[in-house]
Amino acid sequence: MSPTPTADVRDVMDELAGLAPDSRLGQLRRQRPDVVRHLQRSDEAIFTPRNDGGLSAAERVAAALRIAVLLRDDRLQEHYRARAIEHDGAQLAASAADPSSAPREPRWQTILGHVDRLTSDPDSARREHIDALLASGLSPQAVIALSQLVAYVNFQARVRAGLRLLGSQP
């Protein structure tokens, strides 16, 4: 487990919202220290887990970039493009951002289908989609990790938007 973020450490949500920890909004966030702490640790659990269950770091970041594209969130796209380069996953990320260039590999297509469905129309999720993920070779752990990831990036986009609005008014 990486060190717990403290009041003066800039975390991922600060970076995404363009905040300094000691700014007005940085301090507002820190009135909810449990939320700040467990949000940062969630990011680590989702993108840099000690045991990835077979869902690679490059796949995780590429899936996240796809969500940022679907949500039309430029800053979030920039964030995951940069992470894709760190994880040596630039090619996979490029394919996620432009579905027409995605590898026709069934496992990756099934992952992208899950990402799209769950981001844009979660009510259309069905049992057969989980069965397809398992059939394409994902472990139960990888399926859960993927759903957590899609849900988490959707969370990030909402908090980022909320902080943007709060930053626009005194």
Q: Site residues (CB under 8 A) for another protein? A: 28-29, 31-32, 34-35, 38-39, 41-42, 45-46, 49-51, 53, 71-73, 114, 117-118, 122-123, 125, 127, 129-131, 134, 139-141, 143-145, 147-148, 150-152, 154-166, 168-169
Residue 95 or 156: which CB sits closer to another protein?
Answer: 156
Provide the minimum distance between the beta carbon of 62 and another protein in the complex, in angstroms, as a whole number.
Answer: 18
Q: Cα–Cα distance between 151 and 162 in angstroms, integer?
A: 17
Residue labelled with tokens 């796209």: 77
CB 38 within 8 A of CB 87: no
Q: Closest Cα to residue 129, out of 110, 145, 148? A: 110
Q: How far is the CB of 84 from another protein (least distance, A)?
A: 20
Q: State both tokens at 55.
A: 């869902």
Nearest residue (CB) to another protein, 82 versus 144: 144
- Pick the closer one to another protein by CB: 84 or 118: 118
The Cα 93–Cα 126 span in angstroms is 26
